[in-house]
Amino acid sequence: MKIPELSIVLPIYNEEENILPLYGKLKKALARLKKSHEILFVDDGSTDKGLERLRELKRRDRTVRIIVFRKNFGQSAAMSAGFSQARGKIIIVMDADLQNDPDDISRLLNKMKEGYEVVSGWRHSRNDPASKRLPSRISNWLHRRLTGLDIHDSGCSLKAYNRESVKGLELYGEMHRYIPALIAAKGFRIGEVQVQHHERTHGKSKYGGGRLLRGFLDLLFIHFMTKYSSRPLHFFGYLGIIPILLGLLLGVYKTIDQLMLFLSGGDVVASPLLLLSVFLILMGVLLIIFGFLAELLIRMHYQSTEGKNYSIREIL
């Protein structure tokens, strides 16, 4: 089977009203590019009639492929499945809510010609309510601070990936927002280009306040993975050495204090500070041990599940 030049990956969850308009715009944009392609829809456990419309498209268009999840696993899992099943040399990921514009695919591809393996879209003029823009700004600021990657809009789904850049990429939780940081840690070049952003006209936004907190926790995990995954002892050592040093200082101080008291003829009594020093030392040691055990358990878990955090019902 001939390898297509482009794979368009579209995670979908309850977007039945957007599927046909999106498909029409996407086919027009791809026709102008004149590149062989496939369109890979990932149905993330939708409960509407979207899958029926996808099946109709599949019957009409041989370039359409569909991955159907058994239940809703989230956008990170949908993207992960799309990456693993995509056959194209370049993989384009975009939202299915019509807020991303298929015409911007050409902008991403042109930017890749400058030598970038990944190009991220930047929604310079967002058509979203303030309740979405403000948390997004906070998230993007934290992203730049913790990862060191100068990307203005890490939450924009519209991105282009060289196939090699996403090989072996594992996504969990809300980590799809920080894919460029994970890829940059492997040495790939990341670019950015301004893209259009349209107001949502159909369906409901899946964005909620809880995603900001979950995204922040995932960002902390990514910061650890990109900085310390090859040297975890440094990270856990920094956390454990502080209570150990404090415990040692308290222990030495109280030992000298009790010794001076004994030499002066006073009564030596058990001191809470001495017990605290022992507690701090043990806490530091246990923190280091716990960190390594947790890392081993996580690795064993994902190895036992073949590194996948989703379950596919069928591939069409």
Q: Are 240 and 210 found together in one domain? A: no
- Is residue 38 classed as helix, strand or coil in its secondary structure? strand
Q: What is the pLDDT of residue 206?
A: 59
Percent of the chain whose predicted confidence (pLDDT) is above 90: 40
Q: Is residue 192 over pLDDT 90?
A: yes
Instruction: Assess if residue 68 is contained within a domain.
Output: yes
Instruction: Assess if residue 224 is contained within a domain.
Output: yes
Domains identified in the chain, total number: 2
Query: Domain ends where: 196, 229, 262?
Result: 229
Q: Are 71 and 57 found together in one domain? A: yes
Q: Are 135 and 279 found together in one domain? A: no
Give the model confidence (pLDDT) of 103-140 as tens digits: 999 999 999 999 999 999 998 877 766 667 777 777 77
Average pLDDT over residues 196-210: 71
Laid out side by side, the sheet with 118-123 consists of 190-195, 118-123, 159-162, 90-93, 6-12, 37-43, 64-69, 312-315
CATH number of the domain enclosing 27: 3.90.550.10
d(CA 59, CA 166): 29
Query: Domain ends where: 229, 254, 284?
Result: 229
Q: How many CA atoms lie within 13 A of 50 on its CB side?
A: 29
Instruction: Assess if residue 206 is contained within a domain.
Output: yes
Q: Are 284 and 217 found together in one domain? A: no
Q: Are 112 and 250 found together in one domain? A: no
Percent of the chain whose predicted confidence (pLDDT) is above 70: 80
Burial class (CB in 10 A: 0-12, 13-18, 19+), 308: middle
Q: Name residue 309's beta-bridge partners.
A: none
Instruction: Assess if residue 310 is contained within a domain.
Output: no
Q: Which two tokens stand for residue 265?
A: 């003829």
Q: Which two tokens stand for residue 16?
A: 């039945």
Q: Which helix (H) or strand (E) holds 191?
A: strand 190-195
Instruction: Assess if residue 314 is contained within a domain.
Output: no
Give the model confidence (pLDDT) of 39-82 as tens digits: 999 999 999 999 999 999 999 999 999 999 999 998 889 999 99
Which pLDDT band holds residue 31 (cuts at 50, 70, 90)?
Answer: very high
Q: What is the pLDDT of residue 234?
A: 63
Q: Are 250 and 189 found together in one domain? A: no
The region of weakest confidence among 58-62, 163-167, 226-230, 251-255 is: 226-230
Q: Which two tokens stand for residue 271?
A: 């001191």
Q: What is the DSSP string of 105-169?
A: HHHHHHHHTTT-SEEEEEESS--S-HHHHHHHHHHHHHHHHHH----S-TT---EEEEGGGGTT-
Q: How many CA atoms lie within 13 A of 225 on its CB side?
A: 22
- If one counts every other C-beta atom within 10 angstroms of the C-beta of residue 71, the result is 10
Instruction: Assess if residue 135 is contained within a domain.
Output: yes
In terms of DSSP H, where are the helices of the chain?
A: 16-33, 50-60, 75-85, 105-112, 130-147, 179-184, 209-228, 232-263, 272-304
- If one counts every other C-beta atom within 10 angstroms of the C-beta of residue 282, the result is 13
- End-to-end Cα distance, the chain: 16
Q: What is the pLDDT of residue 20?
A: 94
Q: What is the pLDDT of residue 101?
A: 93
Residue 12 near residue 96 (C-beta atoms within 8 A)? yes
Cβ-count burial 165-181 (b if 16+ within 10 Å, e if not):
bbeebebebbbbbbbbb
Give the model confidence (pLDDT) of 287-301 as tens digits: 777 766 666 665 665
Q: Are 236 and 276 found together in one domain? A: yes
Q: What is the pLDDT of residue 51?
A: 94
Q: Are 139 and 285 found together in one domain? A: no
Q: Which two tokens stand for residue 292?
A: 């390594």
Q: Are 256 and 213 found together in one domain? A: no
Q: Are 139 and 261 found together in one domain? A: no
Query: Domain ends where: 173, 208, 229?
Result: 229
Q: Are 167 and 299 found together in one domain? A: no
Range of the domain at 150: 6-229
d(CA 216, CA 135): 11
DSSP assignment letter at 175: G
Q: Are 213 and 189 found together in one domain? A: yes
